[in-house]
Structure 1
Amino acid sequence: MKAAVVSEANAPWVLQDVSKPTAGPHQVLVKVHACGVCYTDALLAQGVLSLRPFPMVLGHEGVGEVVAVGEGVTTREVGDRVGLPIMQKACGRCEFCRERHAYSFVTANNCVAPVLTGVNVDGGQAEFVAVDAEGTVLLPDGLPYELAAPTVCAGYTVWAALRRAGANPGARVAVAGVGGVGHLGVQFAKAAGYHVIAMTHSPDKHALAKELGADDVVADGAGLREAGGADVLLHTAPSHASAIDAMQGLRPWAKIILMGISADDTFPLPALAVTSHGYEIIGSAHNGPEYLAEALEIVARGDVKPMIEVFPKEQVGEAYNRLLAGQLRFRAVVDYV
């Protein structure tokens, strides 16, 4: 089969022939129809995150069709349309797993031996991939594979963050950054019925943010304060500086939801403001497969539409290069059919 192989740190993504996997016990073999390219893929390809030796096949936004099932599989069958989120399988034996937590990034970071699709085992940037059946999610009927792919990670991330925030009906939700994750944050927040304030320093994105459903568009924390403030801040930007700045526009008892991985690892807080206004800082990353199922249903209904650029598998290297150059608007999806 063909797969996009990264031979070493900072090497190009090259489509080449590799051995086709088979479905082992409790696994399914998935014919990949599409796979999204995520910023986390770049961190892995560059060696910034190192969880397995090179060469590797990345991809944790894969979607496709089950074409074979292994021994012991009862929850999936041939013909099922599935997504392949990053958390595939926990070890089930360590102290953390004995507490039987839902699959999430918390499980990925606390299980002593997790299996992570496209991270420490081969992922969806290939024509076929074998994964544990429990590491798949059923796709809603009628949801195109190309739109399902970015929902499996980016859409999952922002919807799980909104659910984690637990905001009251009619709350004001600010989305810091209108990019690969933020453009989905604006749409999911609007679909949930919130008053949405998009925050972006890019004037050329103001009209787009309105088209995506933003009620207000501001450039910074001062603008957020003038617009009436926010009860929830979804931090989706690649730098923490914008979120720190946005805090000057938060309302009392606001919640700041941090998600994903930023280029700068520290999050310096204005301690007096956090204490005196009762702010909550909440880490959020996926939080459980039920939220992925909800996100997929919302996209299937048409209430949210990821903005994607689709590349044939022969151009997987170009998709990755456009991600690195910041030229995507907003998610790259590679077609493996």
Structure 2
Amino acid sequence: MYNALISASARPGSLVAVQGLGGLGHLGIQYARTLGHRVAAIARGTAKAALAAELGAHHYVDSTQTDPGAALRGLGGAAVIIATAASGASMSPLVQGLGPRGQLVVVGAAPDPIQVTTSDLVFGGRTVRGSLTGTAIENEDNLRFALALALGIRSRNEVFPLSEAPKAYQHMLNGDARFRVVLGMEQS
């Protein structure tokens, strides 16, 4: 998330949207807010609105009730949208929420394609690109930034003992993880 935001080069104060409020998205909101952006969280349903605000989002978009692209246009258009959900279909409407020269940065690998019209890209100079975690140096920069000045950027984890790895995996697959599932080493 950090590398995706830094490489997008959005100016502080610009609107940055984070689609998905899971293992990646909960960190993306914290990073975007700490980097000085106006943050919009996009997720399904109203249950995550309070959590999004707690993490630092200024706006919450319930994608089950409104078109997220239209909602972002109503906020002035996003300079950057970080798409974390593993669904190309859910990413497709986001392109229309980008402002001029806006970037949709995809960090969630989806099995289905993202559908984009050429006019959405050409008129406004918008781009769609992917981002990985970054190099070892970039990951060190990420950790340094997250720990600097006690900014409060923290991953939220559920720790399972290694002996319960299958249970932890199923917990994650069921979508019940909040937000990261971590296996801990058992003491003997």
Assess same fold via TM > 0.5. Answer: yes
Show CA shifts across 1:167-217 (max 9, x none). 122221011111111111111111111111111122100110000000111
Show CA shifts across 1:280-316 (max 9, x none). 2222112322221122223333431111111111211
Q: Secondary structure at the match of 1:254?
A: strand
1:289 aligns with 2:99: no
Match of 2:106 among 258, 262, 267: 258
Q: Secondary structure at the match of 1:299?
A: helix
1:241 aligns with 2:89: yes
Matches within 5 A, 1:302-321: 302-321=151-170
> Equivalent residue for 2:146?
299
- Alignment partners' CA distance in 2, 1:200 and 1:280: 22
Give, as a single letter, the amino acid of the residue that structure 1 aligns with 2:152. D
> Equivalent residue for 2:42?
199
* Conservation of the 8 A alpha-carbon contact between 1:233 and 1:255: yes
> Equivalent residue for 1:270?
117
| Greater C-alpha radius of gyration | 1
- Structural RMSD (CA): 1.5
TM-score scaled by length of structure 2: 0.89
Q: Secondary structure at the match of 2:5?
A: helix
> Equivalent residue for 2:65?
none
> Equivalent residue for 1:174?
17
Match of 2:77 among 216, 222, 229: 229
> Equivalent residue for 1:188?
31
> Equivalent residue for 1:55?
none
TM-score scaled by length of structure 1: 0.51
Q: Secondary structure at the match of 2:93?
A: helix
Q: Tell me the CA shift for residue 331 of structure 1.
A: 0.6
1:323 aligns with 2:172: yes
Higher fraction of helix? 2
Q: Tell me the CA shift for residue 249 of structure 1.
A: 1.8
* Conservation of the 8 A alpha-carbon contact between 2:18 and 2:83: yes
Q: Tell me the CA shift for residue 241 of structure 1.
A: 2.0
Ranges in structure 2 where 5+ consecutive residues have no aligned partner: 63-67
- When structure 1 is superposed on structure 2, of 281-290 and 250-259 the one drifting more is 281-290
- When structure 1 is superposed on structure 2, of 288-297 and 325-334 the one drifting more is 288-297
1:164 aligns with 2:12: no
* Conservation of the 8 A alpha-carbon contact between 1:260 and 1:285: no
- Alignment partners' CA distance in 1, 2:45 and 2:133: 28
Q: Secondary structure at the match of 2:2?
A: helix
* Conservation of the 8 A alpha-carbon contact between 1:232 and 1:255: yes
- Alignment partners' CA distance in 1, 2:19 and 2:175: 17
Q: Secondary structure at the match of 1:203?
A: coil
Show CA shifts across 1:65-101 (max 9, x none). xxxxxxxxxxxxxxxxxxxxxxxxxxxxxxxxxxxxx
- Alignment partners' CA distance in 2, 1:165 and 1:261: 18
Give, as a single letter, the amino acid of the residue that structure 2 aligns with 1:283. G
Ranges in structure 1 where 5+ consecutive residues have no aligned partner: 1-157
Give, as a single letter, the amino acid of the residue that structure 2 aligns with 1:314. S
Percent identity over the alignment is: 36
